[in-house]
Amino acid sequence: MLKAVILIGGPQKGTRFRPLSLELPKPLFPVAGFPIIYHHIEACCMVSEVKEILLIGFYQPSEALNRFIQTTQQKFKINIRYLQEYTSLGTAGGLYHFRDQILSGNPEGFFVFNGDVCCDFPLNDMYTFHKNLPNGTKYTILATEATRKQSLNYGCLVENPETHEVLHYVEKPQTFVSSIINGGVYLLSPEIFDRIGRVFQLNQNEIFSCDSFTQAKDCIRFEQDIFTPLAGTGSLFVFKTQGFWSQIKSAGSAIYANRLYLGLYHRNHPEILALNEDGKPKIIGDVYIHPKANVDPSATLGPNVTVGENVTIGAGVRVRESILLPGATLQDHCCILNSIVGWNSLVGAWSRVEGTPSDPNPNDKHAKIDSDALFNSDGRLNPSITILGQHVIVPDETIVLNSIIMPHKELGLSYKNEILL
Ligand code: GTP
C-alpha cells in the first residue's frame, strides 16, 4: 500500500500568483478546467496501490477547500484529508509533524508532490523504477532536463548514469552544476522520517530560520536539509521523466500549464475536448468548454483555451491561449489573447484584451519559463499575459495590453503595460 502527500503551501505562498490567489487558494485555481491539485490527485488514482491522499498546508480550512475535497473524493472514490500545519513548516517539516497520520496503516512508501508542479506524472513508471532499485532504504526523486541557464532556478542533481544514484544535490546553485533538475515529486520510504527527525532535533538547539526570522524552529526543507546531505549515501535515486514538466508560479505559467494539460487530455480524456460540430463555435486545437458555459456558435476558440462554468461568450468573439474563469462574460466581437479573465468579469463589445506569453517556444514540451519576475532588471514591467481580476469591467471598444488589473475595477480608458490597483 502507498499513500500520497500533496504540499499545498499557505496564504503567504503563491504571491507571484496575485491577484488570482486573492480570491481562492492557489492550489484550487482551475487550469484546463480543474483545480491545479486535481491533476495530481487524478494521477495518484491511476496507481492502484495508492489508498489515501493527504493535503498538507497552512491555509485555514475553507468552504472552497472542503467542497473540493468532498467532490474529488467522491469522484475518484479515494480517501482525501487536509492536515493543517500551525505555521509554515517547510516542505519536509509538515510531513514530519504529521508522520503518524502518514504512516498509519503501514504504507510501504508514499509519494510527495509540490502542489505547484504541472506534469504528466508518470507515477506507475516511477514506482516500477523505485521497486527495482537495490534492496534497502531508498528514496526516488522525479527529475527533468533544463537548459544550463534555467537549471540555476531549480534544485540540481548529479547522478551516477549507471545506477541513477544521486551523487550531489544543490538547490538553486550560483553556477552551473547539472541540467538535471528536481521535479518536485518524490517516492519515499518511511525511513525518511528518521532522517527528518535528526534534522528536527538539531534545529531545536539552534537559533535559525528557513527564509525569515518568523519561521518556526520546526521548519525543515527537503531540498537543502534532507536531499543535500542524503546525496552520495547510496539511498537517493533519480527517475528522469521524458514527459512534460513545468511549475505554476506566476499567472503567466498558468497559461502555459493550461496548454500542457489540455494536450494531455488527448491521451487521457479526449471526450472532454471540444469538437467542431454544426451549430457549435469554431474550435481550433485544444479547447475545454465547461458544460454549463454558453458560447455563441459564431465565436472562434483556440488553440489552448479553457472556458469555465457559467461563462457567456457572445457573437463573433475570438479567444486564443487564455483561461476564462467561471462567470465571465465576453460581449460580441471582443478578442481575448494570452490572458486570464477573472471570475464574473465583463469584457465589452469590440474590446481587445491581450498579453504576451512568457514561454520561449510553444512547441517545446521541456520548455521552462526563464523568468517569472514581474519586473525586469531596468525596473520595467516584464511583458506579461494580461490578467483581469475578479469582477473587472472592461467597457466596449477598449484595449487592455500586457496589464494586470486588480479585482473590482471598472476601466474607463485603454491600458498598456500597467498594473492597475
Ligand atoms: P520558489 O522558486 O522560491 O517558489 O521555490 P520552490 O519552487 O522550491 O518552491 P517552494 O519550496 O517554496 O514550494 C514548493 C511547494 O511546496 C509549493 O507547492 C508550496 O506551496 C509548498 N510549500 C512550500 N513551503 C511549504 C510549507 O511550509 N508547508 C507546506 N505544507 N507546503 C509548502
Indicate the number of domains in the chain. Answer: 2
Per the DSSP assignment, residues forming a β-bridge with 318 are 300, 335
For residue 116, report the distance from its CA to the centre of ligand 1, in Å. Answer: 8
Residue whose Cα lies nearest atom 31 of ligand 1: it is 9
Residues 358 and 292 in one domain: yes
Query: Residue 354 gets which letter from DSSP?
Result: E
Same domain, 43 and 154: yes
Looking at residue 274, its pLDDT comes to: 98
The rounded distance, in Å, linking the Cα atoms of 362 and 246 is 13
* Closest C-alpha to ligand 1, atom 18: 115
DSSP summary character for residue 226: I
332 & 232 share domain: no
Closest atom of ligand 1 relative to the 219 alpha carbon: 27
Place of cell 498594473: 419
Residue 90, pLDDT > 80, answer yes
pLDDT attached to residue 383? 61
Same domain, 54 and 190: yes
- Could you list the beta-strand ranges (E) of 122-272: 139-145, 155-159, 166-171, 180-188, 236-240, 245-247
Q: Give the tens place of pLDDT for each residue, 181-201.
A: 999 999 999 999 999 999 999
The closest residue, in CA terms, to atom 21 on ligand 1 is 9
Per-residue confidence band for 252, with pLDDT thresholds at 50, 70 and 90: confident
Distances (CA, A) of 8 to 60, 214, 254, 340: 12, 20, 16, 22
Is the domain of 237 the same as that of 172?
Answer: yes
CATH number of the domain bearing residue 330: 2.160.10.10
- The model's pLDDT over 193-229, given as tens digits with 9 standing for 90+, comes to 999 999 999 888 766 555 554 466 789 999 999 999 9
Whether residue 283 sits in one domain with residue 237? no
Residue 93, classed as helix, strand or coil, is helix
311 & 177 share domain? no
Alpha carbon of 135 to ligand 1 centroid (Å): 31
Same domain, 242 and 347: no
Expressed as residue numbers, the domain containing 36 is 2-247
Q: Is 114 in the pocket of ligand 1 (CB under 6 A)?
A: yes
Q: Is residue 261 part of a domain?
A: no
Which CATH number is 208's domain given?
3.90.550.10
In a domain, 253, yes or no: no
Half-sphere exposure of 384 (CA within 13 A, CB side): 26
pTM of this prediction? 0.93
Q: Are residues 236 and 282 in the same domain?
A: no
Nearest to 192 by CA among 38, 47, 3, 53: 3
Please check whether residues 351 and 213 belong to one and the same domain.
no
**Cα–Cα distance for residue pair 25/215, rounded to 1 Å:** 21
Say how far residue 104 (Cα) sits from the centre of its chain: 28
Ligand 1 centroid from CA 291, angstroms? 34
Cell of residue 30, nine digits: 482551475
Does residue 136 share a domain with residue 43?
Answer: yes
The verdict on residue 291 lying in a domain is: yes
Residues 154 and 238 in one domain: yes
* Mean pLDDT, all residues of the chain: 91
